[in-house]
Every structure is written in structure tokens, then in C-alpha cells.
A and B are shown apart, each in its own frame.
Chain A
């Protein structure tokens, strides 16, 4: 069935594209209501301690200000933690804005100013006077290594390290080739281009329409209803368009709470939009320190893998991600020990950021693999090939598919890897040292429970609906493609409704699971509609489809026909009019197949090849070429798929070279909380990126053969860059981002021209 695609698998432009390129797509802050108020948040200026005094008089007196909220006058909200826990909450105590005088992190909201204009709220916020009793902050992970601990309540069992296998320590000490090092990755901030915002529109009857920047409209809906004991039927949350999120919108943010709180209290519509600065105080990729030790025999076969990961969490929640387990399954090795700990800092709770855990852990592993290749003295790609594994050794399960060999082969060919000379500093072009690096990428291919409705109308057109989200991933388009395929329609004849909490239940968009999950739900709903249509067709007199089964029919050119013989069939419009039907609508509910999950593990894989050019005198790094070969099952839309992987690569280059939340550990405050000083890749940083999709037939990862693409693009990129920098310069830099100062400190750059 997958091979006969007419719409699925084509590089079609996004169906939401015309609205996006003309400025007509409405994001959360872009809705209006009569007499709407504006909220602006005041953040704490200490990292830990308490509010000694808070004076709101001047702010309240500012023209246009309606009310200033602090912990002293905040309207009541749920008391029990369980009411504050969203769909993807963490072990611990969720943050309750303005709940008390305690300060747990820099930037924590301490007041909300509500005024009749944005400007008045913003300007008055500067007049809120807060006096703090500050405690000594602890924000440096390196200094908290002694206070690390194994999370007592696992966020997910799968995040916990697998049991050790073999004897990694003994095998390490006996092996002829060993490497062992610490890898440090600084904290990163998602910084989607859209500011977090909520517009809470209060209708005259007290019902709500809430536009929220979120990766799950139903998650926001349930969260806000639980906190304020709202009738779920009277609240609708929409996230029609989302200006990027990368994980930052998985959990509801404080602007949602504030907009609804103020609106309920003041009985008016309220909009709260964060500032860019404010967005640095929530949901970040935690800083991490990892120790990786690898050992190999004379030929490079892995004898021992030891990976210990430590990352930051907050005082109030135990954020957890799967950092190190990848090292137990990436390569064949019989002696493996993995350990994982977190440490509390006076920071906001970290959160999932594109390929959470893998982007961090695989960076360390894949840099270590490069070190091992040079220790053994073989080509870094060859080392990966000879340690290839066909089974998930962590869980001792078969893999649904793994076309990683093809990724290595085709990626290397496209990149020209065979032209590489092994020795560091052996390739140069004028004043530039050239380096080529490679790394493997891995991410889980996940499917989550999902629902979708599909409606066929008598004009033959189709509407798909689900509370799924499109954070720029292409959800609108691929769900439309799947429906169009099932009904032999043009994409333009399908309407896709997503981003609304009233639509069929869907989990938050994350983990690369949306296409596999909601896509399967759409396909099953389509099959159900066709089955209903067939039943109606079979009730007709002398129906040519009287004996046909569901499996034998399909829609072609507006007719329900036998798959084997399109001559035999009935027009859809005739079936529906004979049955007196204006429309057929079916609601599908799907979930992963537990029998398959018991037997198989499912992962996406990639091979990333990177060329850097390092200025021989200045240490400046340019990434001039990237080839990322990805095996991710069936590709529904090569155009949007390529964009997703490219976006992952770009964020990976940011991790490698630019991105770093800088904390002044004396004050515990973030110093570079803006996007001029927190560097993300800009146009000038990005040169050639080549994405290759490897064919991978996989009917087990998900029923529609999809494995997901949101994360895999970033995994391995930072390691490939660091390996390329080593190849160019001979300097092994184990601290990310690899900024010029680190290169200058580690290399003997050519200074003769300066003498």
C-alpha cells in the first residue's frame, strides 16, 4: 500500500504556508477582544532567598494600571500539587507563580502588572520595588558534583540506566586501548522566535477562548481547568500556529496561569506576552558533565563502555532525561556500565529541548569514539562500522529496522570521506586548517496514543481533525497528505483542523512522535470511513461490491472500487445519496502495539559528516559543509522532512559552537539573557547542509511506517563538529560550545606572521 502513493511521499509545500508567508497565520498573542487588558511579569533579581518587602504603590498609581498582583494578593488557586501537574509534569513540586515569598531561581515571577495597554503594564512593572533577603546561590554544576544523586522517583523507567552487563571495569583495565575523559556541555535555551504568550478571551457568558503558545492545547486546557477549578466544557484552548518551541512548550508556562488568573479576577480579557529576557528563566537544556571511558582491542572492537552522566535540576523538581543509555546500545559491547545522576541548583527547572538527553549524551559518546579511533589508529568511520550492532543490547530486544550502514555508506560517498587523510592538521587550504569529522546519531522512534476524526462529505471532500499541534514540523501538511492519499484527493481538497482542545484527544507534540501517532489515527479513521461507505454501498440493489471486503476496496477518482479492478465500483456521491447521508464521520483511537513493543526496540539513526575550516592564526571556526544521512522509516513529505533535519543540524551547530547560557555564579543570575548575547546560529554561520534520507521499510515502528524526524537531525552534530575541529587543529576540546578562546588555549596556532 505504501508503494502506490500519489500524495504521501511527495515534496509538497505546506498547506499552512500561504498564511505564514503573508502574515495571516495567527499566533497566541495575535488575538483581540474588547477592553482587553495586558499583563507584564516582574522577575526576581536574586537566585535564592525570599522577598523581604514588596512595594507596588508606585506601579499601582501609574496611569493605566488596573491591578498589581504579588504573593500577597494573588487570587486563590488549587492547593494540592496533583492539581498543578500537567500531562508531562516531573517528579517534585510544580512551580506555583506568586504562591509565597520564596525565591528559587533568577527571574522567578514576583509580580504581575495588569494595565489597559501593553506599554503601561511594561513601564509600571519597572516601578515595582522588591527588597530581597538573599541566600548564597549555588548554580555551578561543577561545584555541586559532590551533591549529586540518583533520582529517587524516575520520570520514566526507560530513563534509568540498564543493568550493567559483563564487567566493564575489568575489561577496561585489561584492554590495550583506553580513553577516558570528562565532557562538559553548558546549559542551552530554546529561544523559539515567538515569545511565550497567552490571550485569554472572556466571553460574556463567562466561558473562555484561550490562545496559548503550547505544544499541546489539551495539556494547557486541563492544567488551567485543574488549577482554577474551571468547568472543562467552558474553556477552549487553541494553539493554531506556534512560533517554534523545540520542547519549551511541552509544559504550560506561567503566562498561561497569569492571563487566566487576572481574567477570572478582573472579569475581562487579558493578554500576557513574555519578554525575550523572561524566556531565559524557564525550561532550558540542563548543563551537564559526563565521564566516558572506552576501551578496545588491537583492531578497535569495543571491550568496555562506561558512561556516567550528571546534569542540573532545580530545587523544586527532578528533571530527568535519557542522557547515557545510548552508550549501551549504539555499538556492540559486552561490558557496559552506565550511571546517571542529577544535582540540584538554584535554577529554574530544566526541560526537554530537541532530542533531550541524546543531544547531550551522544555528543559525549561520539566525541569519545573519535578519541578511541585515534588511540587505536583507525579511521573514525571504520571504528563505528566494525562495532555495528544489530540488537538493542540494553533491553536485549530486536530492532524494528536499522539502515545505519547505508547512512554511513551514502553519507560518506556524498561527503567524499574517502579523500580524508587521517592525521590531524594534515589538510589545509591557504591559511585555513581543514578538518573532517563524523558522528552517529540515534533517537527513539516513538508512537503515543492518539485519536483523530475524519469526515467525508458528499462532495467527496475530507476534513481531518485532532488536537495535534504543528510547531513548524509540518503536522498540518502530513495529516492532510495521509487523508488525501486514502481518498485519492488532491491535498487542496482536504481540510485539516488541529490546535484546538475540543478536537480528538492527542498528547503533546514532542519526542518526534506526532507523525507516527496522529498519522496512524488519521489513516485508521480513513479506513473506518471507507468501511462505513462500503457497508452503505452493499445495501444498494445489485451492488457490484456486495461481496467485497474492507481490505479489497479503495477510493479512486471519487469512486469506491475494487483494488484489483477499478472498473468495478460505485461513485462515492451515489453511495451517499442512496443511503441518505450528507457525510460520514468516524473517530479513530490508536495506540502502540504492545506485542511489538515487547519484542522490538525502535530507533532512528543518522550519520553526520562535517567539514570545518579553522583560521590557522585566529582559531575562528567555520562549518563549511554538513552531510546528514538519516534513516527514519517512511518519509511522508521529503520537503518538510528535509527542513526538519536541516533545522536540527543548525541547532546542533549552535550547540557545537555558539549556545551557552552564562550564569554569574556569584549572584546565580543569567548574564546573557537576550539573543544578541546568547548566540544562536545566524544566516552567516550556515553554509552547505545536505540531507540524505535512506530508504527504510519498517512496518513495526508504527503502523504507517513512520519513525519521526523532529530530533534526529541534531543528534551527533556537535560531536561531528568537535571531531572535525580535532582533525583540523589537533586540539581535542571536550567543553561545549567550542568557542575561540578554548581553541586558542588548546592549540599552538601559527603566530609567526605576528612576530
Chain B
């Protein structure tokens, strides 16, 4: 896929990314951020732009399993990386447990910071550093929510964390 702008003469760079499980190759300008690649040419608009400066977390995706602000990553620097966006976590008919928990706990209002919150939360659970609620709050603080759904977001994450912790115990008991 050639994504170089029609009239640009500057050189483009080849880059291969695995996005939501699908390997894709592009020729892109070196100044294109991962966020702008996703939201623009790829039309994967689930990832949001809230500041473009790494301040709000709305653009959070998982890069090789780690949560990152996609606005702070140049796409060409990620050759070979695996990217998971909100679209890769689940669909309305087949939601990820974290998406279900957000729905159930009303952990959003306008929905704009939500994909970033969910990607961040999924990665947070995987990181395994947060155990108490205050740790969840601290470690989710890179994701701003102007609607003020914070306590509901923490509830949703606690529920998913609880379920993940309980799962192996149940298996052992069976």
C-alpha cells in the first residue's frame, strides 16, 4: 500500500506492521505518527486523537503487548511490531471482557477516551503491577476522562482483574 501523499516528493520508507493480527506493509513518510497512520489512511478510527502530545492517553494502543501513546510513535520506527487497537480487542457482537465490563459499569459517557482507557486497562491487567484500587488509579492516570467516569472505570478494571485472578483458582479446584 503506497500511502505517500500525491504531490510529496520526499522519500517514503517501507514498514511492515502486524495490526490486529493482520500483517500489512506500507510506504510512508517518516514523519507520520502511528496514530495518524491508524486514524488516517487505515481508517482505524477507534484509536482517538485527544492532544497529539502524549498528554491525554486517548490514543493508547498496545505495541508488542505494551500500552503506548500512539501519537508519540513514528510509524516507521515500528517495523515488525505487533499493534493491537480497540478494533482488535473485540466487536459489538464479540466483546473483550474489558469492553463488556466498561459497558456494564457505565465506565464512559461520551466514549471518546474509552478505546484508550480500555487498551490501557487491558495492558495494566497483563502487567500485573496493580493489585489495590489506589494502584489502579495511579497506573491509569495517563488516561484522562473529561466526563469524569473514573470511579466506574476503576470498578470495571477491578471486576476484570478479579475474574482473571479467580479463573486459575477455579481450575485448580476442579
List A residues at the B interface (Cβ < 8 Å). Answer: 13-14, 16-27, 29-30, 32, 63-64, 115-120, 123, 190-195, 241-246, 273, 275-276, 471-474, 639-640, 642-644, 646-651, 674-676, 680-684, 686-689
Contact = CB atoms under 8 A, between A and B. Distances in A.
Contact of B50 (A118, A195, A242, A642): A195
Contacts of B73: none
B10 to A, nearest CB: 7
Given A21-B100, A22-B99, A23-B44, 5 more contacts: A21-B103, A22-B90, A120-B5, A648-B148, A674-B51
Contacts of B92: 18-19, 22, 24
A187 to B, nearest CB: 17
| Interface SS of chain B | loop
A119 B111 contact: no
Contacts of A120: 5, 8
A665 to B, nearest CB: 25
Given A13-B106, A674-B51, A684-B141, A472 B43 contact: no
Contact of B32 (A16, A119, A473, A640): A119
B151 A243 contact: no
Nearest to A38: B40
Contacts of B115: 21, 23
Contact of A675 (B10, B89, B104, B144): B144
A688 B151 contact: yes
A650 B51 CA distance: 20
Contacts of B106: 13-14, 17, 639-640, 642-643
B18 interface: no
Contacts of B100: 21
Interface string B1-39: 000011111100000000000000000010110001001
A23 B92 CA distance: 9
Contacts of B31: 119, 123
Contacts of B141: 682-684
Interface in B25-72: 29, 31-32, 36, 39-40, 43-53, 55-56, 58
A63 B111 contact: no
Contacts of A648: 148
Contacts of B50: 193-195, 276, 675
B160 interface: no
A474 B151 CA distance: 18
Contacts of A195: 49-50
Contacts of A119: 5, 29, 31-32, 36
B77 interface: no
8 contacts: A22-B87, A23-B85, A29-B39, A193-B56, A244-B112, A276-B56, A676-B53, A683-B143
A44 to B, nearest CB: 21
B119 to A, nearest CB: 9
B96 to A, nearest CB: 8
Contacts of B137: 683-684, 686-687
B112 A192 contact: yes
B5 A63 contact: yes
Contacts of A473: 109
B147 A647 contact: yes
B174 interface: no
A649 B50 CA distance: 22
Contact of A243 (B8, B44, B111): B111
Given A22-B87, A27-B112, A32-B43, A194 B152 contact: no
B146 interface: yes
B163 interface: no
Contact of B149 (A115, A646, A676, A682): A646
A193 B48 contact: yes
The 6 closest A-B pairs by CB, nearest first: A23-B46, A650-B148, A243-B112, A472-B110, A20-B111, A472-B109
B86 interface: yes
B99 to A, nearest CB: 4
A205 B23 CA distance: 38
